[in-house]
RNA sequence: GCCCCCGUAGCUCAGCGGAUAGAGCAGCGGUUUCCUAAACCGUUGGUCGCAGGUUCAAUUCCUGCCGGGGGCACCA
């Protein structure tokens, strides 16, 4: 439908002497401006040197769209052309929703493209906290949006299992093991003080025996390192599994070294002439590609900086054949973005290969007071604490409600509340109500088929609901293009509001047969779209609450 | 000092360069013989941080300020 009008507009633009004019044909925010509106006449005003409203008349005269497609048009405001679609197009829209079913809202612009979405990638040095949860929800949400647009998506978790932080973890656990066995010991400067390491130490002693604490330090630390890495992985994986996030690939920093990928990365950079030696260190010329300054790759002491394995990792992603590599990073890494961009640009990768989505901090509020978290002191809110308290659905939904770049206030009381004020509840309730109609009717929604005549949907609320349902594919398209799941939550809340209003105003069961049938179709469509949206966000769509 | 993000209603936030800037909550006023009142309807409330610029058109793009947050390493 939209495509047909767009094509007609393009033809008229060409006829008027402005082929290829860039105009917009969209669903206006204000229902009083029709079903579709275009700014074509205003865009043409400048090149054709003519008044936009006069041009709009010439455009309309040249369109020649039949009355069974467009029922009415008008020229409004500074030169907008508004279109009202013929009413029987609305039944076509209803059939499109029911016909597509669980696939309604999917797109194909990504077909044939492989995309890598890397997220969470928490250091294996402690339990996942709420910030990781936001990253998990966002990364999974973006991955789902990309799948919905036809991409082949790989969800990937990068394990920073090498480097200084892991050394500290191993030393910290070793200290706890010694301590628990009655030896004098202290968690080192800059180490991890959380209670979870005391528990882990005790569990390790129980399993291995007290002799563990008497091992020579080097061996004891090595044992602790191996155990801590493994145990943290298991714990994080389990949290994520319960949270509904599954990864296809776990990439390990250690493995990158072992597989020679790090050396390969350095060779690739050197072969492009991007590196040079200075002051005993090896540098990368990132400043020529948008970074503030050049960056060190190999320090004076011969060890590599954090950048090296990370660059090697992104080279590897490119060489694995991904069209896009999307990283979800915490706000504390945002300063790192220009540097990585510079490197990949220097390597000559396409501009749209690498994209970073930043998630700002999460502020957890309970009873109107902020719940503080501090990894150092060991007092923090873990992801598990949070979703065990509010439920996985609420946690995922809340994490996705805001754009990643915005700070997020997570109101625990609101997330738990079973009232209209809680957006997850509100949206799920709308789905449950639609389901309730079929339950009372004793019918399977899928069994309701056929066409809806205009007489079968007599109320303005019927048409309003149908229109809102019709907007879903545009929302998923834009959300996928921008990689912004919060657009889905916003839409679902609008849809839920319209659906609740419709439910209240428009009876279904017991109406004249034609109306009952039309509204059952509409309820089925609404239930489908609500379910599709919730599924896309990783939330359940309950039939009753 | 430099970089990034944010600044929109009392609060939390939406708003691909378009029309009279929206929603939820809070406030005020209503609604229930009814498929879940766990709901619905109406209404009050705005210098879109400030100043320039580009444009037929700027909350949106650009520049500079102001305010809030985050980041600045041969740490990860």
Q: Among all strands, which nt has the closest C1' to A502 (CA)?
A: B40
Nearest protein residue to nucleotide B3, judged by CA and C1' positions: A335
Subset of residues 238-277 in chain A with CB less than 7 angstroms from any atom in strand B: none
Residues A161 and A164: their CA atoms lie apart, in Å, by 9
The answer to whether A545 CB is within 7 Å of strand B is yes
- ipTM for the predicted complex comes to 0.91
User: What is the C-alpha to C-alpha distance for residues A123 and A140, in angstroms, rounded to an integer?
Assistant: 18
Secondary structure class of A108 (helix, strand, coil): coil
DSSP at A119: -
As a whole number, mean pLDDT of residues A488-506 equals 92
* pLDDT tens digits for range A288-316: 887 878 899 999 888 888 889 999 999 99
Residue A541 contacts residue A428 (beta carbons within 8 Å):
yes
Does strand B come within 7 Å of the CB of A76?
Answer: yes
Q: Is the CB of A280 under 7 A from strand B?
A: yes
**Segments making up each domain of chain A, as ranges:** 2-85, 91-110+420-536, 119-249+360-416
Nearest C-alpha neighbor of A531 from the set A446, A436, A419, A428: A428
Å: A32 CA to B39 C1': 27
CATH class of A2-85: alpha beta
Two structure tokens written together for A297: 């790759």
Instruction: Check whether residue A31 has its CB closer than 7 Å to nucleic acid strand B.
Output: no
On the question of pLDDT at A230 being above 90, the answer is: yes
What is chain A's Cα-based Rg? 29
CA A339 / C1′ B45 distance in Å: 46
Q: Given CATH 3.20.20.140, say whether it is the number of domain A91-110+420-536.
A: no
Start-to-end CA span in chain A (Å): 38
Instruction: State what percent of residues in chain A have pLDDT above 90.
Output: 52
User: Which sign, positive or negative, has the C-alpha torsion A61, A63, A66, A68?
Assistant: negative
Residue A121 contacts strand B, CB under 7 A? no
User: Using 50, 70 and 90 to split pLDDT, how confident is the model at A14?
Assistant: confident
Give the distance, in angstroms, between residue A31 CA and nucleotide B20 C1': 13
In the structure encoding, which two tokens stand for residue A382, read together?
A: 């873990």
Other Cβ atoms within 10 Å of A112 Cβ, number? 9
- CA(A301)–C1'(B6) in Å? 40
What is the secondary structure of A182-248 as a DSSP string? Answer: T----PPTT----HHHHHHHHHHHHHH-GGGGGS-HHHHHHHHHHHHHHHHHHHHHHHHHHTT---S
pTM of the model: 0.92
Q: Please return the burial class of A24, using the count of CB atoms within 10 Å of its CB with bins 0-12, 13-18 and 19+.
A: exposed
Distance A101 CA to B27 C1' (A): 42
CA–C1' gap, A335 and B70, in angstroms:
9
**pLDDT bucket at A373, cuts 50 / 70 / 90:** low
Q: What is the mean pLDDT of chain A?
A: 89
Residue A55 Cβ under 7 A from any strand B atom = no
Distance from C-alpha of A454 to C-alpha of A61, rounded to nearest angstrom: 29
Task: Reply yes or no on whether the pLDDT at A375 is more than 50.
Answer: no
pLDDT at A378 over 50: no
Residues 6+ apart with CB under 8 A from A131: A330, A359, A361, A362
Nearest-angstrom CA–CA distance, A483 and A222: 42
Options 3.40.50.620, 2.60.40.1240, 3.60.15.10, 1.50.10.10; CATH for A119-249+360-416 is 3.40.50.620
* pLDDT tens digits, A247-301: 999 999 999 999 999 999 999 999 999 999 988 899 999 888 878 788 999 998 8
What is the mean predicted confidence (pLDDT) over A437-459? 91
Q: Which residue has the tokens 């912004």?
A: A484
Q: Quick check: A290 CB within 7 A of strand B?
A: no
């Amino acid at each position: 439908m939209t495509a047909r009008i767009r094509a007609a507009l393009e033809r008229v633009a060409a006829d008027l002497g402005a082929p290829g004019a860039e105009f917009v044909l969209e669903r206006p925010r204000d229902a009083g401006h029709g079903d579709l509106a275009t700014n074509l006449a205003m865009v043409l005003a400048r090149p054709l040197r003519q008044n936009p409203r006069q041009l709009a008349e010439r455009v309309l005269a040249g369109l020649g769209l039949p009355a069974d497609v467009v029922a009415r048009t008008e020229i409004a405001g500074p030169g907008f052309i508004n279109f009202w679609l013929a009413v029987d197009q609305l039944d076509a829209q209803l059939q499109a929703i029911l016909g597509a079913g669980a696939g309604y809202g999917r797109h194909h612009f990504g077909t044939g493209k492989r995309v890598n979405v890397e997220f969470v990638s928490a250091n294996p040095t402690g339990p996942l906290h709420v910030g990781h949860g936001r990253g998990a929800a966002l990364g999974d949400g973006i991955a789902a949006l990309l799948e919905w647009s036809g991409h082949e998506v790989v969800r990937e978790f990068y394990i920073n299992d090498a480097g200084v932080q892991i050394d500290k973890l191993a030393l910290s656990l070793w200290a706890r093991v010694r301590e628990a066995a009655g030896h004098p010991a202290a968690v080192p400067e800059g180490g991890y003080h959380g209670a979870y390491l005391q528990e882990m130490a005790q569990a390790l002693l129980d399993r291995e025996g007290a002799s563990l604490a008497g091992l020579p330090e080097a061996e004891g630390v090595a044992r602790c390192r191996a155990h801590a890495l493994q145990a943290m992985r298991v714990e994080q994986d389990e949290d994520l599994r319960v949270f509904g996030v599954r990864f296809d690939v776990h990439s390990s920093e250690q493995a990158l070294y072992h597989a020679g990928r790090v050396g390969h990365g350095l060779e690739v950079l050197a072969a492009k002439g991007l590196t040079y030696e200075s002051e005993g260190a090896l540098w990368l010329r990132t400043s020529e590609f948008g970074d503030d300054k050049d960056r060190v790759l190999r320090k004076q002491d011969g060890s590599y900086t954090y950048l090296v394995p990370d660059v090697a990792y992104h080279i590897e992603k490119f060489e694995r054949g991904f069209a896009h590599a999307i990283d979800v990073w915490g706000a504390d890494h945002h300063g790192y973005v220009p540097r990585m961009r510079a490197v990949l640009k220097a390597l000559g990768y396409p501009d749209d290969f690498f994209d970073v989505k930043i998630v700002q901090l999460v502020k957890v509020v309970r009873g109107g007071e902020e719940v503080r978290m501090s990894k150092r002191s060991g007092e923090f809110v873990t992801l598990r604490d949070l979703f065990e308290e509010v439920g996985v659905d609420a946690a995922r939904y809340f994490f996705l409600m805001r754009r990643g770049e915005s700070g997020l206030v997570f109101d625990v009381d609101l997330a738990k509340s079973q009232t209209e004020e809680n957006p997850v509840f509100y949206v799920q309730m709308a789905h449950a109500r639609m389901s309730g109609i079929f339950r009372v009717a004793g019918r399977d929604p899928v069994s309701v088929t056929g066409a809806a005549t205009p007489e079968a949907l007599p109320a303005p609320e019927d048409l309003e609901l149908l229109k809102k349902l019709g907007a879903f594919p545009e929302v998923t398209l834009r959300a996928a293009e921008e990689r912004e799941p919060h657009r889905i939550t916003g839409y679902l809340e609008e849809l839920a509001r319209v659906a609740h209003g419709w439910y209240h105003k428009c009876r279904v069961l017991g109406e004249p047969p034609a109306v009952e049938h039309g509204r059952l179709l509409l309820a089925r469509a609404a239930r489908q779209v609500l379910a599709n949206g919730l599924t896309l966000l990783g939330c359940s769509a309950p039939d009753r609450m």
